[in-house]
Amino acid sequence: MSIADNIRAFQQELSGTNCRLVAVSKTHPVELIREAYDAGQRLFGENRVQELTAKQPELPADIEWHLIGHLQTNKVKYIAPFVHTIQSIDSLKLLQEVERQAAKHQRQIRVLLQFHIADEETKFGLSWAEAEAMLRDAAQQLQHVRIAGVMGIATNTDDEGKLRQEFGTLRGYFERLKADFFADNQDFNEISMGMSGDYRVAIEEGSTLIRVGSAIFGHRAYPA
């Protein structure tokens, strides 16, 4: 299976669903990203600022770039001119810096709030209480940031019951935020969950954005 074949297989699998594919191209060269682009893929995800800013100018301007990895406040400025969606908002400080940089470039940046849903201590993300406090403090001041939903990374496991429970938790957070803070806001509509190993379960649990790398591009040359 080529990259183009893989993209077409995902297009088929997702057609008629409410879920879209973010092709996670981290560690892969621009030539391979272009193969996916030529097969019709437009949403791409990278997890490192330096890699994203190196690749973006080499590739077509209509790509919708998603930053999916942990983002340090002092690096927002490098991606603010072009990034479409930052999926990894995990603090008020970061949210405010995205607002500041988006204003500077007179553009809108879409963001997702990343929640901690997995067992692993190492994975970043907000708790429910942190997200609630953040939105109370911040939501009104945001003019250049559109909060569009939630993102989460499940535990790396084959246990389907556990995956379902974690994805269900994230969907629950989405629904509570929608009711409490975004009831009249059509922009708040994304649940980003599901990767190569667990995207089918994620779709069944209500994912609207799956982030898939190795199932499209093959194994990564170095861990990321």
Ligand X SMILES: *Cc1c(COP(=O)(O)O)cnc(C)c1O
152 binds ligand X (CB under 6 A): no
Residue 146 pairs with which residues in a beta bridge? 110
Binding flags for ligand X, 92-131, as an x/- string (CB under 6 A): ----------------------------------------
Q: Count Cβ atoms below 10 Å from residue 17 Cβ, excluding itself.
A: 11
89 binds ligand X (CB under 6 A): no
Minimum distance of ligand X from residue 10's CB (angstroms):
11
Residue closest to 25 by CA, chosen among 222, 202, 214, 190: 214
Of the candidates 21, 24, 134, 135, which one interacts with ligand X according to CB under 6 A?
24
Distance of CA 223 to the CA centre of its chain: 19
State the minimum distance, in angstroms, from the CB of residue 73 to ligand X: 19
| CA atoms of 75 and 73, how far apart (whole Å) | 5
Q: Given candidates 135, 170, 195, 209, which one binds ligand X under the rule CB under 6 A?
A: 195
- Residue 15 CA to residue 29 CA, distance in Å, equals 28
With tokens 């996670």, the residue in question is: 24
If you search the block for the tokens 């069944």, which residue do you land on?
204
Q: Applying CB under 6 A, does 19 fall inside the site for ligand X?
A: no
| Residue numbers at the binding site for ligand X (CB under 6 A) | 24, 26, 47, 68-69, 153, 195-197, 211-215, 224
